[in-house]
Structure 1
Amino acid sequence: MTVPRSTFRLQLHKDFTFDDAAAQVDYLAALGISHAYASPITTATSGSTHGYDTVDYTHVNPELGGEDALRRFVEKLRAHDMGLIVDVVPNHMGVGGSENTWWLDILEWGRHAAHARFFDVDWHSPDPALRGKVLAPFLGAAYGEELHGGKIKLAFLADEGRFVIEYYAHTFPVCPVDYPSILQEAPELAQRFTGLTTQPTDQPRAADARAALVTLAATEGGKAAIAATLAAHGAGSPQGRERLHRLLERQHFRLAWWRTAADEVNWRRFFDVSTLGGVRVERPEVFEASHALIFRLFTEGLIDGVRIDHVDGLAEPREYCQRLRQRLEELSKERPEALQHGNGRTYFVVEKILARGEPLRGDWQVDGTTGYDFMNDVGALLHDPKGAEPLARAWAALSGRSADFADEALVARRKILAENLSAEHDRVARALHRIARDTPATRDFTFSSLRRVVGEIVVQFPVYRIYPVNSVRSAEDERYFSQALSGARAALPRADHVVLDQVAQWLGGKLPDEAPVAEKPRERAAERGRDRNQTAQPNTNAPASTGSQRRSAQTLFSQLTSPVAAKAVEDTACYRYGRLLSRNEVGADPGEFALSVEEFHKGNLERSKAFPHAMLATATHDHKRGEDVRARIAALSEIPDEWAATLHNWSTLNTSLRRPVDGDDANWAPGPGAEAMLYQTLVGCWPPGLSPDDEAGVKELAERVAQWQLKALREAKLRTSWFAPDEAYENACREFLFDIVAPQRRGGFLKELPAFAERIGRAGAVNSFQQTLLRLTAPGVPDLYQGTELWDFSLVDPDNRRPVDYEQRRAWLAEGEAKGPPSEQLSNWRDGRVKLALVRRALALRQHAASLFAQGEYLPLEVQGKHADRVIAFARHAGSAYAIVIATRLAEPLLAKHGDTPLVDADQWGDTAVILPDALGSRALFDWMSTGAPKADGQRLLVRDALAAMPVALLVEEGVR
C-alpha cells in the first residue's frame, strides 16, 4: 500500500489550476511532503471555488486545465518522488444551471430518462402536482410572479434543435413529446415529432427529429416560424403567459420558488442545499459511470489514492467502501509496474464525523478518516478543564442563553427538522406508513403519528447515523439508537409509545417470528374483559416485500439523521453557543470542553491499532476558524475570570455604539450573544504585529470579520437567516463592528483589543506549537492544509480559502534552512517562520526515520513533578529506534508576565520530569527542534533541560539524528 508520509491539501479552482499547483511541487518537496492532496478534479459548476458541485464525472475539470494539465502536474510530482491523492464526491452532483447533462436528461424525459435512476428522486410523490415530476426549486420569487414578470421564457437552441425553458442561468429542457403543441404555428416543423412518447424506444427518434429541426430552423422560413412560436409563448400577453404556463404544467419538472424546497422537494439533496442533488451510487451502473474517470486515472498511474467526501450521505456506506476497495485492488494490478506495490492496496480514507467513543467501522476496509476526530482530540487537549464551568456561567449570564450546549443542539435539531428538512422528514414517514399499511396489526398507525415518532427519534439521535447489516442494527448501532429511543420515549406522549416501539423494530430491530411490538396488548374499550398482560400471537401474514421496505426506510432514516446532525449542530448551534468558540468546530462537540492527557493518549492508541494510517488534521477547507485562531482562543480557558471581566468591560465600553433595530432601543444590534462572540473572534484572529495605527490593515481585518459575522448571524438563525435575511439587523451589526474598530477608537477599544490579543498571544502560540508537533508525530498521516505552515488566523470559508503566498513561504523556508533548528527563530515568533521551521524539521525526521513513524508503536510517557499536568509526552518506537515527543501545555500561568517569548523559563519547571523508556536511561538525546542534547538522570529526563530552548521537543538518539 502506498501510505503517504504526509499530505498537503490543495484547493484547486480556475484561479489556482494544476499548472499553478505544479509550480509549487518543489516547495512541497522541500517542506517534506510526500503526497499532494487535491480537492475534486472532476468537472464542476463553472466558477466553482471548491469543486464539490460536480456536473460531469467523466472529464477532468477544464477550468483546472483539463487532463493535459493534470498530467503535467503528476509528471512534476513523480520527478520529486511524490504522489497524488484526489477528493472524490460520490454523494451528490451540482444541479440546476445548464451544465449537468444527467440532470437535464431527467428533466426532459422524466421517469423514462436514461439517467432517471441515477438521482434519488421520489417519482411517486403523494402530491398530484409532482407525480412523475421533479421539483425544480430554482426561482428567486414565487412562480406566478416570475411568470408574469417575463423572467421565465421559452427559448430555442438552434444548434441543437431543442426547445428549453430559460430562467437566468438555469435551463430546463422541454420534452420533445410537446414539440407539436409548441409548433402549432409551424406544422411543417412539428410533423417529425408527432406521435412521440417518452418511452426509451422513442427517444432515438426524437434525437433524429431534432437533428432535422436544426436544418429546417436554419432556413428563412424556419427562422420566422421559430420566432413566431417563441412570440406565441411570450409573457407580454395574457394569452402568451397562459400558453407558456400550460406548456410548463406538462413537463417532467415543476418550476418553483426556492423557498418551497424545504417542504416539497421530492429528491434527495446534499443537506438542505437545493443546488446539489443526491446520486444513487449504490446502483452498480451509477457507481461505474461516476467512477469511470477516477478508475482510468488510477489505472494509468496518475492518482495514487482517494478521499471520499461525505460518506454518510450514501445509502450504504459499508457496501460502497467495500466495492470501491475491491475495484481499486483489481485495477492496481494494471498500473505501471513502477507504481505497483506488494499487496495491491491503495490509500483510501473517508470524510466521517465521529462522536466521542464512536468507532470507525472496521469492515469498511478503509484506511481511516480524513482527520476530524484527531482535530477534535487535539483541540480539546488545549483547553483547561477548570475553565469550563466559570466560562459557561459567564456565557449564560451575558447572553441570556443556556449554559449547556446540549440544550442549544436539541432546539436547533427541532428547528432544522421542521423548517429545513421537512420534505425529507415526510419521505421517511411515508416509507414507514407503507410498511404499516401492509400489516393488519399496524394498518391503523397514522401517517401523522409515524411522522411525529420518527421525528423525535431523529431529534434525539446522538450520532450521524447507523449502519444496519442485513437490515438489523449492530451492537454498536444499538448503543446509539437506544439513546435516541430513550430520549424520544421521554419526550413523546404515552399514546405514541406503541408506535415508537414498532418504528424502532422497523428501523433495524430484530424481527423474529413474532408479532410486531404494535400487537402487544393495549387497553381497548371493546375488549374490557381481556387480560392486559396477555401476549399477542405471532403474525404470519407479513408481506414478502417487508424486507425491502424496511431497508428503504432505514436508508431514508439514515439519510435524514446525517443532515439534521450536520445542519443543527455544526451550522446552527455552533453559531448560537459561545462559551469558547475554539470548541465550536466541525467534528467537535462544544459540550465537551476539554480532554485529559490520558484520554488523548487513549485515542492515539486506539487509532494506532485500528487505523494506523488515518489522516491527522488540524485545519481543513471546512473549518470554522483557523488552527491558530482556535489555539489562541483556547488559552482563554486558563483565565476564565479575567476573560469574563474583559467581556463585561468591552460591552460597557461599546454600549453607546449599539444600534437600535426598527427604532426599538431594547432590540439592539448585534445583541449580547452575538457581541460576545464577535469579541472572541477579534481576539482570536487579530494578526500578530498588527498595529491599531495601521488603518488599512485594521480595515482589511474588519472586512474579513464582517464576512464571518454575516455568515455566523445567518447560520445561527436567530434574528436573521439565509432563508429570510433581516438586512436592517445585518447592516446594524456590520456598522457596530466597523465603529468599534474605527480609527477614533484608538484610545479606547481599539487600544485594548490588540493589547489583550498580545496578552494571550504567547499562550496561544505555545498551544499552536503543541498541536502542530502532535499532529506531525502521532500515529497516522499528518495533513497540512494549504498555507497553514505559517500562522493560520483564517475564519470560516471563503476566508480559509484565500490565495496562499507561496513565494513568501518558499523564501522563508530557504532562509530557515540556513538558520538552523526552529529554536533559532523563536524570538521572532510573531511572523510565523518558527512554525514553518517546526513543520519542516518534524517532516524531515519522518522522512529520515520513515518506518519509525509509519509502523512504530505509540508509548504514552509518564510525567512527574511539580507541573506534570502542564506537559504531554510520548514515544514512537520501532526496533531499537525511539523518538520522544514532549510538549508544553496549559502554559499561561508559567509564562513570565512581562516576557516576550512563548517559552516557559527553565527554572519554572522545577522537578518536573518525563519518565523515559528503560532503553533510553541515561543516554544523550538530540533535539530536532533545537540545538539541545539533554541527558536523562536514569530514566528521568528533566523538562527544564528538554524544553529549555523551545516549548516543544522532538528527541532522538544519535543514530536516528
Structure 2
Amino acid sequence: MNPPVATYRVQFREGMTFDRAIENLPHIKSLGISHLYASPIFTATCGSTHGYDVTDMNEIDPSLGGRDGFNRFVKALEALELGLILDIVPNHMAASQENAWWWDVMERGRESAYADYFDVDWSERLTLPHLGKTFEEAVAEGELTLERGGQCAWELCYYEARYPLSVESIRWLIDETGGNPGALSAFSQSREKMARLHEKQHWQLIHWKDAAEHLSYRRFFEVTGLVGLRVEDRRVFEDSHRLVLDLVKNGAVQGLRLDHIDGLADPAGYLMRLRERVGEELFIVAEKILGPREVPIPEWPIAGTTGYEFIEAASNLFIEAKGLQNLEAHYRKVLPSLGSFEEELRQAKTRMVTRNFAGEVSRLAAISSELLPDIKRSELSAAIREILIAFPVYRTYGTANGLSEQDIVILDDVAAVARHHAERPEVIDAVVGLLASALPKVTEFRTRFQQLTGPVMAKSMEDTLFYRYNCLIGANEVGGEPGHPPGGVSAFHSAMLERRRTQPLGLSGTSTHDTKRGEDARARLYAITEDADRWAGHVARWRQMNAALIERLSSGPAPDPNTEWMLYQALLGVLPGEVDAEELRELQERFSAYALKAVREAKTRTDWAEADKDYDAAVERYVAALLSPENRDFVDDFITTAQPYIASGYLNSLAQTLIKIAAPGIPDFYQGTEGIDLSLVDPDNRRPVDYGKLAVSERPDAQALKQKLITTGLRLRHQRQSLFLEGDYRPLKVEGALAEHVVAFIRVKDNDFVIVLTPRLMFSELQPQTLVASPGFWGDTRLIMPEASCGRKKDLMSGLEFAAGDLLVSDILVQPVALLVGA
C-alpha cells in the first residue's frame, strides 16, 4: 500500500469545479500535502450541494466539468506530483427522477432490470413519500396532472416532479381518453379514475410525513430521497463501480474514501470484493465512527477510518476535568430538570425508535414474528426497541459465520441493559439470540437490524442530543463522548498507542464536512472549562442584558434557557478575532441560520417534521437583535470578554495541529483549515473557501503560526516518511510542579526520532500577543529525554538548538509549540 503523507479535502460543487480546483493546487501543494481528497464527483441531482445524492455512478458530473474537466484536473495533479483520493458512495443513490435506474424501476416495477439494484420490499408497491397531503386531496385540489412523456410514455406530474405510468395503465388511459387533452384534463380531476390509475402503477404516492411509519425501501438515515443500494449483489457492485474501477485502473485515482460503510448489508464482503478489484496498493479508508473501547475490525482490508476518533482522543488534552464538572453544575442550575447525559440519550433514542424509525422497527418485528411465532408481535416490537436503545456503538457485523469476539461482548452488554428496562426480559434474550445465530433463516433479520442501529445512534446522538445537552458544546462532536469525563494526558497517550497498533495508516482528522463546528472554534470552546465559574457569570450577565429580547409564547420563553446557554457558546466559537460592521452583518446571517437548525435538531420546542413557526421566528428575531448595531453594549461586552478565550483557543489549535501531524495516522486537512476555521455546522462549514484571504488573517500571527506549523511539519513527514508511518509512539516523561500542563511524545525508528512538546490548559498564564506562558511560569518543569534522543536537538519552530540531556520546558517553549529533531 502507498499511503499519503497528508491529505487535503476539497468540497466540489457550490461553485467549485475542476477548473477552479486547478487554480488552488499550487497553494495546496505548498502546504506539504501529498494527496487531494475529493468529495463525490459523480453525477448527482441537479443543484446538489454535496454530491452524495448520486444519480449516475458511471458519469462524472457535467456541472463540475465532466470527464474532460476531470482529465484536466488529473493532469494538473500529476504535474504537481499530487495524488487523488475519491469519496465514493456505495450505500445509496438518489431516489430521483434524474436517476435512470430508479426511473426504470418506477416504470417497470419488479420487472425492471434494476429492481434488485435497490433495497426495496416488493411485497407492496413502491412507496414515494412526495406529497404534501393525501393522494385524494392532491387530486381534489388539482395538483396532479397527466402529460405526454417521450415516445409512447405518459407521466403523472406533481408540480416539478414526474412519475412514469406503467405500460398496462397507459393502454387503459388511452382507452378512457383517446389521448384527447380535454378528456385528459377531465380524467385528472376525477377522484375515482385517478385512484384507479394510481392503483395500476408500480409505485404509490404518499404523504411525506408517512415515510417514518410506511416506506417500502431502505433509506439513508431519515432521508427518503436517498435509496439503499444492494452492493452485496455482485451484479450491482460491478455496475455501480464501473467508472471508479476504470479510474483506478488507468492510474487517475490513488485512493478511495468509502462513505457510510455501516449502511451496507455485508461491509466485510464488500471490502473484500473491492480490494480484490483494485489491488493491494490502493489506499482505502472507510467512514466508520468508533464507539467507546471499539477498534477498527482487523480483518477489513483497509488502511483505517476517516478519523473522527482522533478528535475525541485529542479533546482529552484540552478539556479540564474539574472545570467541566463546575461548568455542568452551573448548567444544571439554569436547567434543574435536565436529566443525566445517559438519561437524555435514552429519551432521544426512544423518540427515534418510536417515531422517526417506527416503520423500520415494525418491519423488524414482522420478520422476527415469523422466526419466533410463539411471541406476540407487540412484545417483539417492544424488545427490538429496547435493544436498539441499549446499543452503545453504531453496529455489529454478524454474518452467516457468526460474530466476532468484540461483537459478542457488545451484544452481551446490550442484552443486560435492555433486560433491565424490559417488561419481559426473556423476549430480549430471544431477539438477541436471533442476532447471535448463524442459521440461514435469520439472515434477513440480522442484516436489517444491523443496518438500523447506526441511523438510530447517529440521529439520536449527533442530530438530537448534541443540540439538547449543551453543557460544553465543543465536546458535542461526531465520534465524541460528552457523557464521559476527559481522561487527560494519560488517556490521550493510551488512545495514540492503540492507534499505532490498530490503524497507523488511518486518517487523523480535526475538521470534516460533517463535524459540528470548525476545529479552531472547537479548540476555543475547550478553554471555557479552564474558566468555568467566570464563564457562567458572563452568561448570567448576558442573559440579563438581553432579557428584553426573550419573547413569551404560550409554549414558554423563546428562546428557552437551554438555547440561550448554547447560543452564547456557539457565538464564542464563531466570533472573528476582530469584528467590523460588515463582518457583524455576515455573522448575523450565518448565526441565525445556525440557531434555527440547532433548535429544530434538538426537537424539544420545534422540529423539521413538525415546525413551531412561532418559536422558530422568535428565535430568529432574538439572534438578529442579539447581534444588531442597536445592541452594541452587549456586542462590545461579549467581544471584550471573549479575548482570553480566543487567545487560549489559538494555542489549543496550534497544539492539536502539531499533534495531528506527528501522532500515529495520516494527517487530514479539511479545506481552509490551514487558516483559522471558525465555521459552524453544515451548510456553514461547506461554504467555498476564499483562498485569497488565507494569506490575510484577522489574527495574522495565529494564522501565520498555524501555516508555518503545517508546512514545517509536513515537510518533515515527507523527509522521514518511514519514521512517521512505521515508527513507535512513546509518551515522554515530564517532571516538575507544572508537568500536567505539558504533553510530550516521541516518534522513533532505529536511530531516527522526532519529539513533540506542546502546552495545555494555559488559560490563566497565556500572553495573548505571543501565545506563550508568562515569564517564570514553567519554573523547574523539565522534559526527560530518552536514550533514543540523547544527542543534540533542534526545534524546527524556533530554530533553537539544545545540548544533550534533559531540557527545561521554559527553554524549549519560546514559541507556542515545539517540534524537536536531532541537530
Q: TM-score over 0.5 for the alignment? A: yes
Q: Which amino acid aligns with 2:405?
A: A
- Partner of residue 336, structure 1: none
Tell me, in whole angstroms, the C-alpha distance in 2 between the residues paired with 1:806 and 1:769: 20
Q: Does 1:250 align with 2:200?
A: yes
Tell me, in whole angstroms, the C-alpha distance in 2 between the residues paired with 1:592 and 1:358: 15
Q: Which amino acid aligns with 2:388?
A: V
- Partner of residue 739, structure 2: 868
- Partner of residue 163, structure 2: 172
Kept in 1, the 8 Å contact 2:316–2:489? The answer is: no
Tell me, in whole angstroms, the C-alpha distance in 2 between the residues paired with 1:740 and 1:808: 27
Structure 1 residues 584-617: Cα deviation after superposition (integer angstroms, max 9, x where no partner): 0111111124232122112111221221110000
Tell me, in whole angstroms, the C-alpha distance in 2 between the residues paired with 1:587 and 1:229: 58
- Partner of residue 499, structure 1: 427
Q: Does 1:953 align with 2:821?
A: no
- Partner of residue 562, structure 1: 454
Kept in 1, the 8 Å contact 2:346–2:389? The answer is: yes
- Partner of residue 776, structure 1: 661
Q: CA deviation at 1:826?
A: 13
Kept in 2, the 8 Å contact 1:310–1:351? The answer is: yes
Q: CA deviation at 1:828?
A: 4.3
- Partner of residue 99, structure 1: 98
Structure 1 residues 602-646: Cα deviation after superposition (integer angstroms, max 9, x where no partner): 211122122111000000001111111111110011111111222
What percentage of residue pairs aligned between the two structures are identical? 39
Tell me, in whole angstroms, the C-alpha distance in 2 between the residues paired with 1:255 and 1:849: 60
2:452 aligned counterpart, secondary structure = helix
Tell me, in whole angstroms, the C-alpha distance in 1 between the residues paired with 2:712 and 2:698: 14
- Partner of residue 119, structure 2: 120
Tell me, in whole angstroms, the C-alpha distance in 2 between the residues paired with 1:855 and 1:721: 49
TM-score for both structures, normalised by structure 1 = 0.84
- Partner of residue 206, structure 1: none
Tell me, in whole angstroms, the C-alpha distance in 2 between the residues paired with 1:36 and 1:670: 42
Task: Select between 386-395 and 444-453 the one with higher mean Cα deviation.
Answer: 386-395
Tell me, in whole angstroms, the C-alpha distance in 1 between the residues paired with 2:170 and 2:128: 21
- Partner of residue 521, structure 1: none
Q: Which amino acid aligns with 1:32?
A: G
Tell me, in whole angstroms, the C-alpha distance in 2 between the residues paired with 1:400 and 1:256: 42
Tell me, in whole angstroms, the C-alpha distance in 1 between the residues paired with 2:810 and 2:368: 65
- Partner of residue 215, structure 1: none
1:507 aligned counterpart, secondary structure = helix
Kept in 1, the 8 Å contact 2:106–2:126? The answer is: yes
- Partner of residue 920, structure 1: 789
- Partner of residue 905, structure 1: 774
1:907 aligned counterpart, secondary structure = coil
- Partner of residue 468, structure 2: 576
1:138 aligned counterpart, secondary structure = strand
Q: Does 1:929 align with 2:794?
A: no
2:620 aligned counterpart, secondary structure = helix
Structural mapping, 1:247-646, within 5 Å: 247-329=197-279, 344-402=280-338, 404-436=340-372, 443-470=373-400, 472-493=402-423, 496-509=424-437, 547-646=439-538
Q: Which amino acid aligns with 2:821?
A: V
- Partner of residue 132, structure 2: 140
- Partner of residue 333, structure 1: none
Residue in structure 2 matching 1:705, options 580, 587, 591 = 591
Structure 1 residues 409-442: Cα deviation after superposition (integer angstroms, max 9, x where no partner): 1100000111110000111111111112xxxxxx
1:164 aligned counterpart, secondary structure = strand
Tell me, in whole angstroms, the C-alpha distance in 2 between the residues paired with 1:373 and 1:137: 36
Compared CA separation, residues 828 and 73, structure 1 to 2 (3 A): closer
Kept in 2, the 8 Å contact 1:134–1:253? The answer is: yes
Kept in 2, the 8 Å contact 1:110–1:116? The answer is: yes
Q: CA deviation at 1:683?
A: 1.2
- Partner of residue 652, structure 1: 544
2:383 aligned counterpart, secondary structure = helix
Kept in 2, the 8 Å contact 1:387–1:638? The answer is: yes
2:290 aligned counterpart, secondary structure = coil
RMSD of the TM alignment (CA)? 1.7
Tell me, in whole angstroms, the C-alpha distance in 1 between the residues paired with 2:205 and 2:330: 49
Higher relative contact order (CA 8 A, sep 6+): 2
Kept in 2, the 8 Å contact 1:14–1:63? The answer is: no
Q: Which amino acid aligns with 1:585?
A: E
Q: CA deviation at 1:562?
A: 0.8
Compared CA separation, residues 253 and 186, structure 1 to 2 (3 A): closer
Q: Which amino acid aligns with 1:956?
A: V
Q: Which amino acid aligns with 1:574?
A: F
Q: CA deviation at 1:444?
A: 2.2
Bigger radius of gyration: 1
Structural mapping, 1:73-84, within 5 Å: 73-84=73-84
- Partner of residue 58, structure 1: 58
Q: Which amino acid aligns with 2:111?
A: H
Residue in structure 1 matching 2:718, options 847, 855, 872 = 847
- Partner of residue 153, structure 1: 145
Q: Which amino acid aligns with 1:119?
A: F
Q: Which amino acid aligns with 2:426?
A: V
Q: CA deviation at 1:149?
A: 1.6
Kept in 2, the 8 Å contact 1:417–1:425? The answer is: yes
Residue in structure 2 matching 1:181, options 172, 178, 185 = 172
Compared CA separation, residues 654 and 712, structure 1 to 2 (3 A): same
Compared CA separation, residues 803 and 401, structure 1 to 2 (3 A): farther
Kept in 2, the 8 Å contact 1:826–1:901? The answer is: no
Q: CA deviation at 1:924?
A: 2.8
2:480 aligned counterpart, secondary structure = coil
Gaps of 5+ in 1: 125-130, 188-224, 330-343, 437-442, 511-546, 813-824
Residue in structure 1 matching 2:187, options 213, 217, 233 = 233
Tell me, in whole angstroms, the C-alpha distance in 2 between the residues paired with 1:372 and 1:405: 21
Q: CA deviation at 1:242?
A: 2.8
Q: Which amino acid aligns with 1:172?
A: Y
1:876 aligned counterpart, secondary structure = strand
Tell me, in whole angstroms, the C-alpha distance in 2 between the residues paired with 1:859 and 1:380: 17
Residue in structure 1 matching 2:672, options 780, 787, 804 = 787
Kept in 2, the 8 Å contact 1:377–1:595? The answer is: no
- Partner of residue 803, structure 1: 688
Tell me, in whole angstroms, the C-alpha distance in 2 between the residues paired with 1:631 and 1:293: 40
